[in-house]
A = this chain, B = another copy of it.
Amino acid sequence: MSTTEGRLTSDDRREQILAAATVVFGDKGYAGGTTDAIARQAGISQAYVVRMFGSKENLFLEVARRATGRLRVAFRDVIAGFTGDETNLERQVALGRAYGELVADRGILLSLLHLFGLGQDPVFGPEARECFLDVYRIVRDEAGFSATEASEFFARGMLNTILLAMGMPERRDDPRAFELMSTSMGAECETILASVEAQASLRA
């Protein structure tokens, strides 16, 4: 996939590399994801990956920023559609659905999770905290959630992300695993599981 195309414009290639890096970093984490694996996934040489972004560190930073950017856009889109007479629960469900749709883009949420795990790092730590607070401010201020509602929303989101990162859908036969997933993901559960399965099937 993703290959057999000839030369691309710099911008197109850049986007392609970012997409590939999002997948690889999502699976293996920052240290575990090699520039070579990213290059192979994008169908180009390792040297070009490094040259286009200057360094692996820089590439990961852009991946993370692009991921939070997607999150912010998705949330703001939903919030813009609020009429003002929804219940809080309805608003939580609407935002949750937007979150669930991001799962379709494999790696976005997982790369963010890995970023969050690097809070001790002098470069990634501050970035992680700022990214997270950025999104929190949107949900808290722009969506008009209370502190409790926002905290519950993020808590559920984190659990869902981790279940996904763990590959828990692979164990949907286990009654406890299935129960946990359907309880935590709610109405989105089937959509998410289908999305994950689609991604898994088209992997080598």
Residues of A at the B interface (CB closer than 8 Å) are 27-32, 110, 113-114, 116-120, 125, 128-129, 132-133, 136-137, 140, 147-148, 150-152, 154-156, 158-159, 162, 164-168, 170-171, 174, 176-177, 179-180, 183-184
A201 to B80, CA, bound (A): 44
24 pairs of residues in contact across A and B, judged by CB atoms under 8 Å? A28-B31, A28-B118, A28-B120, A29-B29, A29-B32, A29-B117, A32-B32, A32-B118, A113-B162, A116-B162, A116-B165, A116-B166, A119-B164, A119-B167, A129-B166, A133-B176, A133-B180, A136-B176, A140-B179, A147-B179, A147-B183, A148-B183, A154-B159, A155-B184
Known: A114-B117, A118-B29, A183-B148. A129 touches B171 (CB 8 A): yes
**Set B158, B170, B171: member contacting A158, Cβ < 8 A:** B158
Contacts of A150 in B (CB 8 A): 180, 183
A129 to B159, CA, bound (A): 13
Nearest B-chain residue to A179, judged by Cβ: B147
Contacts of A179 in B (CB 8 A): 140, 147
Q: Closest Cβ of chain B: how far from A170's Cβ, in Å?
A: 7
